[in-house]
Structure 1
Amino acid sequence: MSDSWAAVATVKAPVEEVLSFAAWHLELGAARLHIYLDDPEDPAYPILKAHPKIRAMQCDDRYWRRVARDGRPDKHQMRQTLNASHCYNAKNRHDWLAHIDVDEFLLPDRPVAEILAALPPDVLSARMRPMEVLARPDRPEEQGPDAEGSDTEAPVHLRAFSLPLAQRHAQTERIYPEFGAFLNGGMLSHVAGKLFVRRGLPDVRFRIHRVLSAGEADPGQQELPEIPVAHFHATSWADWQAHYRFRLDRGAYRAELKPPRRADAGSVNLHTLLSTLEDSEGDPGLRRFFDEVCADTPALRDRLAAEGLLREVTMDFAALRARHFPDVGA
């Protein structure tokens, strides 16, 4: 016996990345993908629309007049949560709905539908914790022997983290000697993860990492360790730099967020840490942070492995795109 599942995402990314996201989750057995295109003119739209298991929505002015009282929200986080809520309440017909981002990929240890079907009926939301992908180094001397070959041939390395907080903080400081005291599990984006939500809950309102149903937060929640989420937060130094300013101003490093180590006296958030590094040292300071925390180096892999927190997976996106979108590029 298994449960059907769907996923919803608001996307704004290059076509190839959108198709990789879709192909990965179709391969995992998603009965439906609800993809909301933040750019209504996104060139991925006709490709997605043609697939029988994908429902693509162009988020144009007409759409936003129907969904939001004041039209299109300025903050992308609000657009994401409104779209997920719209999907759950108006469009989803499957047993479970996951709200994830275009740079997040489920990594189940067995079929997703099987895992969800095994959950007790009183579990109404199931939390998937993230693992961040380590960034491929661009300095030849940092690349280990397994870095040879194409992106589809080389393994993807990820950092996990421990749930018990004291253990997590101790491990973080051992793994990241200079910056660990400012980090929560070494994660730059979030540790909260994302949710699967069971069908049939009343008045569902998604948040980025939570869900409300009739005002109750995360009803019937259970951890779902069988399905971690691979988060491609930074794939290279150039990629991290390209997203850095937006994240500092409006994203994962914005000023109003609480410090990752909020219980520690003198702890600062990533906005303050990174801004201070940039103001005092410029790009070399940011690069030092990136090299210790993000870069997929043998030294970091060894430290993660010593703590039991290194994961490795092969993700052949090119092959999956060819399988699920065979006409693209033909």
Structure 2
Amino acid sequence: MTTWGLTATILAPTPDILRFAAYHLDQGAHRLYIYLDADTPDAYAALKAHPKVRVQTCDAAHWKRLMGRRPDKHQARQTLNATHAYARKAEVDWLIHMDADEFLVPDSSVTAALEAVPATTTSARIRPMEQLGGTQSAFKAFIPSDGNRRATVSALYPTFGKHLKGGFVSHVAGKLFVRTGLDDITVKIHNAFQGDQMLPDAAELTDLSLAHCHAKTWDAWRAAYGYRLDKGSYRSELKPATGPDKGGMTLHDLFRWLEAEQGEAGLRAFYDEVIGDSPDMRARLTSHGLLRLVDLDLDASLMRHFPEAAV
């Protein structure tokens, strides 16, 4: 039987860490390789006690072993830890790097999706669906790049659509399962390399989705906004969805412009049109066949695997 696991570098409260772990254990993960980006003793103790989890606190000794010092950028820390997890003696057939706000949602099972991948294929990509802010169960589906994506995005988001990749505020690249046992592998955020070459011809796992809980509420989105603007998914060096010659801006520049011109009201207008759950948003998505309703039921998973943390 095909086995799979995941690796994640996590900076989050203990309940969120354990919900993430518990949910994927329920989905059939054979191993979880969890790297705690800060000392989180309660999460460490709970994870350490679980037979399918390998947990590491990323302290000074850990970073000294990996590269001599702690990288400043969290993206570099994620890459180093994911590559370290892949280089361990293989305990699974497939390994994926994920974030703690991402959850695998299969049509049948993760194992079944991976067993359908041809034996000669070394990687398999999962596309995201993005959570609507203010709900736990409604998501906007991934729009394939089939020639109609831009028109669909413009229809869904008439004010801000030209600045959005695939209609998402977060990534559309998804995440990558990599078959274990390959030499000289570097696992990055959305891709993997063998030597200096990206792994070719990843299979598209159309019966498996990545539920990305990027913005749970307006308050949560606003609280994370500054960090994302400076160091995360809205940072200035990322490319725009539409070129400047066609009126496009990076999200970084768009948000800076909205703040300068409209202040907080501009950011709220963006959130309401693009992110927030509402009857209008659901109707727009439904009209294009893009509304997904999924009950992750994270608290139930938490109770099954880490009941002491669910009290």
Question: What is the TM-score with the length of structure 1 in the denominator?
Answer: 0.91
Residue matched to 1:291: 272
**SS at 1:292's partner residue?**
helix
Shift of 1:263: 8.4
Q: Say if 1:159 and 1:310, in contact at 8 Å, map to a contact too.
A: yes
Change (3 A) 1:92 1:260: farther
Matched, 1:281 2:262: yes
Residue matched to 1:106: 104
Residue matched to 2:233: 252
Which AA in structure 2 matches 1:174? A
Map 1:203-218; keep pairs closer than 5 Å: 203-218=184-199
Q: What's the CA shift string for 1:207-264, capped at 9, x where partnerless?
A: 1111001222023411111111000100000000010000000000001110022486
Map 1:290-309; keep pairs closer than 5 Å: 290-309=271-290
Q: Say if 1:122 and 1:220, in contact at 8 Å, map to a contact too.
A: no
Shift of 1:156: 0.5
Change (3 A) 1:227 1:311: same
Residue matched to 1:57: 56
**SS at 1:230's partner residue?**
strand
Q: What's the CA shift string for 1:9-66, capped at 9, x where partnerless?
A: 0001111111110111000000011000000345311111111111111111101111
Map 1:1-330; keep pairs closer than 5 Å: 2-68=1-67, 70-136=68-134, 156-262=137-243, 265-328=246-309
- Runs of at least 5 residues in structure 1 that lack an aligned partner in the other structure: 138-154
Q: Say if 1:21 and 1:102, in contact at 8 Å, map to a contact too.
A: yes
**SS at 2:208's partner residue?**
coil
When structure 1 is superposed on structure 2, of 285-294 and 217-226 the one drifting more is: 217-226
Q: What's the CA shift string for 1:286-314, capped at 9, x where partnerless?
A: 00000000111010111111111110011
- Identity value in percent: 48
Whole-Å separation in 2 of the counterparts to 1:271 and 1:165: 26
Root-mean-square deviation over aligned CA pairs: 1.5
Q: What's the CA shift string for 1:76-127, capped at 9, x where partnerless?
A: 0000011000000125421000111000000011121122112111111000
Q: Say if 1:6 and 1:92, in contact at 8 Å, map to a contact too.
A: no
Change (3 A) 1:322 1:41: closer
Which AA in structure 1 matches 2:31? R
Which AA in structure 1 matches 2:180? R
Whole-Å separation in 2 of the counterparts to 1:91 and 1:292: 47
Q: Say if 2:128 and 2:212, in contact at 8 Å, map to a contact too.
A: yes
**SS at 2:61's partner residue?**
helix
**How many residue pairs are counted as aligned between the two chains?**
311
Q: Say if 2:160 and 2:270, in contact at 8 Å, map to a contact too.
A: yes
Change (3 A) 1:206 1:255: same
Which AA in structure 1 matches 2:33? H
Question: What is the TM-score with the length of structure 2 in the denominator?
Answer: 0.96
Which AA in structure 2 matches 1:82? L
- Runs of at least 5 residues in structure 2 that lack an aligned partner in the other structure: none
Whole-Å separation in 1 of the counterparts to 2:149 and 2:13: 35
Whole-Å separation in 2 of the counterparts to 1:229 and 1:41: 26
**SS at 1:19's partner residue?**
helix
